Structure 1
Amino acid sequence: MKNRFVVTITDIAGSKQYNIHQYVKQIILYIVLFIVAVFFFSAISIRLLLNEVKQIKNKRDLMQQEFLKINEKNEQLQALIDEKTEELVKVSDKIEDLEGIVGLGEQTSQRDLSLIERVDLASITGAQKAFVMQLIPNGVPLKGDYRITAAWGTRLHPILRRSHSHTGIDFGMPIGTPIYAPADGVADFTGTGYNGGYGIMVKLEHSFGFKTFYAHLSKIVVKRGEFVRRGQLIAYSGNTGRSTGPHLHYEIRYLGRDLDPKPFIEWTMRDYTQIFEKEKNIKWQSLLTMINKLSEIRETPVLLRRAQE
């Protein structure tokens, strides 16, 4: 009996006694100790895992902060590059002016003449004018009334709070306003990553070195490489990128140089000549001569058919 012990259970009906071997007692004790050990080690493991998760979260937060700092630095560098590019363009303009001063007198006098006097506008037909308006960006890239919230030129940056060159104009409008192509062209860039501050954007390549940019969009309709016609829907306005509110940032560039879009959005068939005097950075005489020749070539088959009839 030394290796056994008695367990007595008493209830209303009486009492019962059970003889249990010592080995059973040891087994029960081991099971209890095992359960306690498992619980103890599980608690320690869970605590270690929670600490590891916390460390990973802290590292993630630090990486996010570092990413934001790098992204902000990248935007500042991009803005600085844009400013330096503008300065380079201005220096190039000054060099061209100096070259004009020391050049031939005939060239200087020719430059001083009014473009309207040098270009025989009376000989340009309505079809040729329409052909020009189809190829070169003109009008507003949206329908209905519009509101310009920021003009082209030097201004105080609304976010960076320092003077910088605003290379386009901003139209204030609700998110989701349809945006249309101002001339025939091809979608050269669609999406994000072109310029960190531009957000979702579209770049259209037009004829004769003209390009147009549409920034801070919410949705793009055209695909990269797709040809578009004047008046075709290309995107919807938004508030993406470095923006203080819903608007469209619209740029016109010619041979890499940003131009004031305002004369172009005011350019119509009725006021056909105003653009030639307002925008001096384009050699309109040679450009119009080339376009008119292309227009004549395009009209030749029509004239031949009419002559045969």
Structure 2
Amino acid sequence: MKNHFTITISDVHGSRHFSFKQFMRKFALFVVMFIFLMLAGAAGVIWWLNQEIIDIQDKRQVAEASYQAVLEKSKHSYMTLEAEKRKLQSQLDNKSKQIQFLDQTLQGLEDLIGVKPDEDELLTDRVKIVQLTTLEKQIMLEDIPSGRPVKKYQGVSSSFGWRIHPVKGTKEFHRGIDYRGKRGDGVIATASGTIEYAGYHKRSGYGRLIIISHDNGFKTLYGHMSKLHVKTGQVVKKGELIGEIGSSGLSSGPHLHYEVSFVQRKLNPVPFINWDLKHYDEIFKKVKGVPWGSLSQVVQNRVQQVEKQLLLRDVK
């Protein structure tokens, strides 16, 4: 046949003839079948991958639904805790106001009827205080609030006692001292202690507020700040920078509100601000209601314990 090749294979059984045209036809059929199988395999893989995607999407939806349920439950628990916290804080504020009112009333009655502390007890306290060494006095000045809470002193805008509130316009008892200052001026701790609270306190009106708990029942409060440099639970040293003056909360302008208290009783901060080694004994005459003799005895015991430990170490 013209234009065709014929291949003949002969053996003992006979001869076989293969046409080149027939070979090409089979080869083409093989290629078509191969491509078909490849496409079928690819289609199968694609279907399997789609099923995997659908399965993953179903699992994701289940996970998201579970997450939303847990989130809603957590939100509900958080809101419940916050409500309970606000309730307890309200009760605590009310009790603190009652204690403050009763304390002021009691002081007024004592002054009115002329009641004074027992003279023998005052004499005993003075004897204990006089016996303090310079080291023991320095320790008391370190642990009990003393000195100014501001780095740059620019005067006092409001003192301790009754006044007309600059924002509300009502007559109220001012439980601390307001220091003038510029926004960003440094505020320092007046004694070593632990940060009891550091955050924004809307209820009190003090805005960004820090409360430091000191040894022997003393606390100091720093209000209306613009920035806080410490966190709740942090230990601070006397003179350490804790924040910056501002005008947050119920305030008419940049200043620092500063308070000193002893066992929930608000004290006039002035004697503590002026307290130093040079004028060491003056505070004991001006600040009543604080067992200075007992506090000095505590300091003496601490120093003696340290001295004994050092002595034992040297002996070993």
Structure-1-length-normalised TM-score: 0.65
Kept after mapping to 2: 8 A contact 1:83/1:164: no
Aligned partner of 2:197 in structure 1 is 189
Q: How many residues align?
A: 225
1:156 has 2:170 as partner: no
Identify if the C-alpha distance between structure 1 residues 179 and 109 changes in structure 2 by more than 3 Å, giving closer, same or farther: closer
Shift of 1:296: 1.9
Amino acid at match of 1:88: L
Question: Using a 3 Å threshold, how does the CA distance of structure 1 residues 302 and 82 change in structure 2: closer, same or farther?
Answer: closer
Counterpart of 1:187 in structure 2: which amino acid?
Answer: I
1:86 aligns with 2:100: yes
The structural deviation recorded for 1:208 is 0.8
Distance 1:163 1:199, change over 3 A: same
Distance in structure 2 (CA, Å) of the matches to 1:175 and 1:97: 41
Q: CA deviation at 1:159?
A: 1.7
Q: Contact 2:218 / 2:263 at 8 angstroms: preserved in 1?
A: yes
Q: Residues 58-69 of structure 1: matches in 2 within 5 Å? A: none
Q: Secondary structure at the match of 2:118?
A: helix
CA contact (8 A) 2:182 2:254 kept: yes
2:254 aligned partner: 246
Q: Deviations over 1:275-309 (max 9, x none)?
A: 11110121111121122211221233334456x49
1:83–1:165 Cα contact (<8 Å) kept: no
2:120 to 103, 106, 110: 110
- In the alignment, the residues of structure 2 paired with residue 285 and residue 219 of structure 1 have an alpha-carbon distance, to the nearest angstrom, of 38
Give the greater-gyration-radius structure (CA). 2
Residue 119 (str. 1) matches residue 128 (str. 2): yes
Amino acid in the other structure paired with 1:131? I
Aligned to 1:299: 307
Which consecutive unaligned segments of at least 5 residues does structure 2 have? 1-91
What letter is aligned with 1:251? Answer: E
**Cα RMSD (Å) of the superposition?**
3.1
Between the aligned partners of 1:183 and 1:277, the Cα distance in structure 2 is 21
State the identity %: 33
The answer as to whether partners of 1:131 and 1:295 remain within 8 angstroms in 2 is no
Deviation at 1:82, TM superposition (A): 6.7
The residue identity in structure 1 corresponding to 2:255 is: H
Cα distance in structure 2, aligned partners of 1:87 and 1:148: 25
Q: Which residues of 2 match residues 230-245 of structure 1 at below 5 A? A: 230-245=238-253
Q: TM-score, normalised by structure 2?
A: 0.64
Native 8 Å contact 1:184 1:230 kept in 2 = yes
Q: Aligned equivalents of 2:110 and 2:304: distance in 1? A: 33
Mark the runs of 5 or more structure 1 residues left unpaired by the alignment. 1-77
* Aligned mates of 1:80, 1:165 — CA distance in 2: 15
Take 2:147 and 2:132, find their aligned partners in 1: how far apart are those partners? 20
Q: What does the per-residue CA deviation read over 1:196-220, in whole Å, with 9 as the maximum and x for residues that have no partner?
A: 4101111101001101000000010
